[in-house]
Amino acid sequence: MQRFQNYVLGQWIDGQGVETPLFNALTGAQIGEASSAGLDFADVLTYARQKGYALRKMTFQERGRMLKALALFLMERKAKYYEISALTGATKVDSWIDIEGGIGNLFANASLRRQFPDLPYYVDGVAAPLSKNGTFIGHHIMVPKEGVAVHINAFNFPIWGMLEKIAVNLMAGVPAVVKPSEYTCFLTEVMVRDIIDSKILPEGALQLVCGLGRGILDSVDARDVVTFTGSAATGKLLKGLPRIAEQSVSFNLEADSLNATVLGQAAVPGTEEFDLFVKECVKEMTIKAGQKCTAVRRIIVPENLLDEVQGAIAARLATTKIGDPATEGVRMGALATKLQVERVRANVDLLAQTQQMVFGNLDDFEVVGANKEAGAFFPPVLFRNENPFTATAVHDIEAFGPVATIMPYKDMDAAIELAKMGKGSLVSSIVTPSNAEAVAYVVGAASMHGRILVLNKDCAKESTGHGSPMPLLTHGGPGRAGGGEEMGGKRGVLHYLQRTAIQGHPSTITAITQQFQVGADMPEAQPHVFRKHFEELVVGETVFTHKHTVTDADIVNFANVSGDNFYAHMDATSLEGTIFERRVAHGYFILSKAAGLFVDPKKGPVLLNYGIEEARFTKPVYPGATIGVRFTVKEKIDQEKRSEEDIAKGIVKFLVDVYDETGETVALATILTMVKKLTDA
């Protein structure tokens, strides 16, 4: 019998005894066993904190490149994961969501490196002036937490559940211990073996616990982050452990919820939106056999369309073949385990006490290419609840399978109220061609939902659907959904960083943040910054340019070249009642002239200027004013080569501070330049 092992303390280890026998969801045959009994979890966490420290030393750019390399490595081996995923009862589409959706999280988080500095820590926001003369300022930095991310994942997505979480903590520089569900850990284990063999991650960055993982939270402390995905009851039990409260451990709970979809009143039969709604409902009931934390459980439709929607959904469900996904035509596989079949059936029985089952038969249904009794099969079930404000079990009981309830609403306020009766959901959706309906629903329902999809014919072709959380958007929800947040692009990474306020002289804060702060020392660049390679540039060094006196001719010439003949520049007789004393120079002329002053025109390491950020004009410039520029290295960001032939380079941000004869700033901007490196690395 195959033993699925734990990867801890730098080695693959068997647990003691057999905690969990593992079965093929389609045939019921045992495929192996797993156990984590006997593991010393205190040692496991200590090992991660010590060995995983290498992650903290890496910059965000290095971590991002590491994630990209890992994603490419795993994508080359995806066929193996599909083969094993089939044992969980998944169809090819189900497996695609789990496997390639999970790897996609690695790619998405790798791309976030462009939003972070080339440092091991993040500089948050802008400086806060704290003194009259500017010699004392404040700022914020965010450093990687020195603990471990302990991820306790659900059975339904053994790969996606792991990768969507570790992608974020690894990007932040924090090691992880992953505890997948014991029932589907065999798939997670296969991928982790490949990850370890790749040697792409530093040792200690990832450990795996198969089996029950009892005691895994006994040694967490204030440095750690715990995430849990699964049932609300189990999540609340873990979150309430004395150790979590005593040590003030960050705990992120993402629980299954009673998600709702709403058919707008404008989406009548015959519209594309009506058909999209029916298709989306059936898809949400049958993908992963309804075993998704984001699946639709409550279908809310206008009361006058209740029969039409019910009939349309039932008709599509009737064509859904259940069975072995390897058999042609099968569109829905098995639940993950026989235990899940028992639990779903028990909750279906409870729901049936207060509402009518209008589609599905728990005992009489056909399974194609497999044995119904041997496998963990369960048929799609559609309930009808005509009084959802009084028969409220549907808002409290979740059957975690291919089960949903259709219910009527009178007006949009009622639809919003019904959606919120789920007491907090991960996701809701509204299908409507009416933007007015969409606005009313989103604004009214948002307070109790983590995500809302608005679906219509214009976005349907590219929409990822109701049940698909995306790596660059937050995944979580209030109330019953757990109150946590996962993914969310940069937001997700920040969960694993400690924000610390820093105070000091602008020069000191510049040294810490590696971003120039106003008031810091500005040593004159020798030679000109455009003559220096990326490695030679120092944050804060400055070019002090020659000066130029603005004339009426400058204004007229710029107007002729640009076509900008705005009255304030060209008609001195029209200025009464404005803020201008006389005709004023174009702001873009000031910036253009500034470039003429700070640019060193000879060929050198600067390859190109590709953008301007944060440009603003702070004081009118009239003919006769004399302007100069302080041109300062503001920030440097390393950039990897895309190919062997690519030029080794980095991104340099320069602060353009244009001032007049009084010394007062008249314009500010940040320009982005691409600068060649000295070496070809």
Mean pLDDT of the chain, nearest integer: 92
Taking the C-alpha atoms of residue 282 and residue 285, their distance in angstroms, rounded to an integer, is: 5
210 an active-site residue? no
Q: 418-454 as b/e, with b when 16 or more CB fall inside 10 Å?
A: bbbbbebbbbbbbbbbbeebbebbbebbeebbbbbbb
Pairing assessment for the beta strands 474-477 and 321-322 based on DSSP bridges: unpaired
313 neighbors 360 (Cβ within 8 angstroms) = no
For residue 668, the model assigns a pLDDT of: 95
For 541-560, the DSSP string reads -EEE---EE--HHHHHHHHH
Is residue 1 scored above 80 in pLDDT? no
Q: How many CA atoms lie within 13 A of 431 on its CB side?
A: 28
For residue 276, the model assigns a pLDDT of: 95
- Interval 384-427: pLDDT, tens: 999 999 999 999 999 999 999 999 999 999 999 999 999 999 99
633 neighbors 538 (Cβ within 8 angstroms) = yes
* Dihedral over Cα of 439, 445, 449, 453: its sign: negative
Same domain, 234 and 329: no
For residue 190, the model assigns a pLDDT of: 93
Confidence of residue 550 (pLDDT cuts 50, 70, 90): very high
- 154's tokens: 């659900």
Same domain, 225 and 329: no
- Interval 290-322: pLDDT, tens: 989 899 999 999 999 999 999 999 999 999 999
- Interval 520-530: pLDDT, tens: 999 999 999 99
For residue 483, the model assigns a pLDDT of: 84
Taking the C-alpha atoms of residue 201 and residue 69, their distance in angstroms, rounded to an integer, is: 10
Residue 654 lies in a domain: yes
- DSSP at 323: B
Taking the C-alpha atoms of residue 225 and residue 165, their distance in angstroms, rounded to an integer, is: 11
For residue 356, the model assigns a pLDDT of: 95
For residue 481, the model assigns a pLDDT of: 84
- Interval 443-475: pLDDT, tens: 999 999 999 999 999 998 988 888 888 888 888
CATH at residue 63: 3.40.605.10
Indicate the residue among 200, 234, 256 that finishes a domain. Answer: 256
Catalytic option among 254, 273, 541, 635: 254
Residue 364 lies in a domain: yes
Same domain, 73 and 143: yes
In the chain, the number of structural domains is 3
Residue 612 lies in a domain: yes
Taking the C-alpha atoms of residue 190 and residue 196, their distance in angstroms, rounded to an integer, is: 10
CATH at residue 570: 3.10.129.10
Indicate the residue among 221, 256, 291 that finishes a domain. Answer: 256
Taking the C-alpha atoms of residue 183 and residue 193, their distance in angstroms, rounded to an integer, is: 18
For residue 601, the model assigns a pLDDT of: 86
Taking the C-alpha atoms of residue 417 and residue 414, their distance in angstroms, rounded to an integer, is: 5
Residue 575 lies in a domain: yes
**Rg, the chain, Cα only:** 30
Residue 180 lies in a domain: yes
146 an active-site residue? no
Indicate the residue among 468, 492, 511 that finishes a domain. Answer: 468
For residue 468, the model assigns a pLDDT of: 84
Query: Which residues lie closer than 8 Å to 499 by C-beta, 6 or more apart?
Result: 124, 140, 141, 142
Same domain, 211 and 272: no
Q: Mean pLDDT across the stretch 273-301? A: 93
Is residue 136 scored above 80 in pLDDT? yes
383 neighbors 403 (Cβ within 8 angstroms) = yes
Where do runs of H (alpha helix) occur along 287-423?
306-318, 338-351, 412-420
Residue 579 belongs to domain spanning: 522-676
At 354, which amino acid appears? T
- Interval 226-268: pLDDT, tens: 999 888 888 888 888 899 989 999 998 888 889 999 999 999 9
Query: Which residues lie closer than 8 Å to 377 by C-beta, 6 or more apart?
Result: 322, 323, 334, 335, 341, 365, 367, 370
Same domain, 46 and 172: yes
Catalytic option among 164, 293, 437, 541: 293
* Dihedral over Cα of 530, 531, 534, 536: its sign: negative
CATH at residue 462: 3.40.309.10
Residue 489 lies in a domain: no
Same domain, 336 and 406: yes
Total Cβ atoms within 10 A of residue 679: 8
CA distances from 272 to 10, 263, 313, 456, 460 (A): 55, 12, 15, 8, 10
In Å, the largest CA–CA distance within the chain is 93
Residue 666: phi and psi, rounded to 5, are -110, -20
How many residues are present in the chain?
681
354 neighbors 388 (Cβ within 8 angstroms) = no
Q: Mean pLDDT across the stretch 38-42? A: 92
* Strand residue runs (E) in 131-185: 137-144, 149-152, 176-179
Total Cβ atoms within 10 A of residue 610: 10
- The H or E element that residue 459 is part of is none
- The candidate with the shortest Cα–Cα distance to 397, out of 337, 340, 344, 449, is 344
Q: Mean pLDDT across the stretch 341-346? A: 93
Same domain, 294 and 436: yes
Residue 299 lies in a domain: yes
Same domain, 288 and 243: no
Query: Which residues lie closer than 8 Å to 20 by C-beta, 6 or more apart?
Result: 33, 34, 35, 182, 183, 185, 211, 212
Is residue 681 scored above 70 in pLDDT? no
- The candidate with the shortest Cα–Cα distance to 110, out of 148, 68, 152, is 68
Same domain, 315 and 243: no
Residue 168 lies in a domain: yes
pTM for the whole thing? 0.87
Same domain, 278 and 208: no
Pairing assessment for the beta strands 206-208 and 484-487 based on DSSP bridges: unpaired
Same domain, 450 and 527: no
Taking the C-alpha atoms of residue 258 and residue 422, their distance in angstroms, rounded to an integer, is: 5
- Interval 612-639: pLDDT, tens: 988 999 999 999 999 999 999 999 988 8
Taking the C-alpha atoms of residue 596 and residue 599, their distance in angstroms, rounded to an integer, is: 6
Same domain, 647 and 572: yes
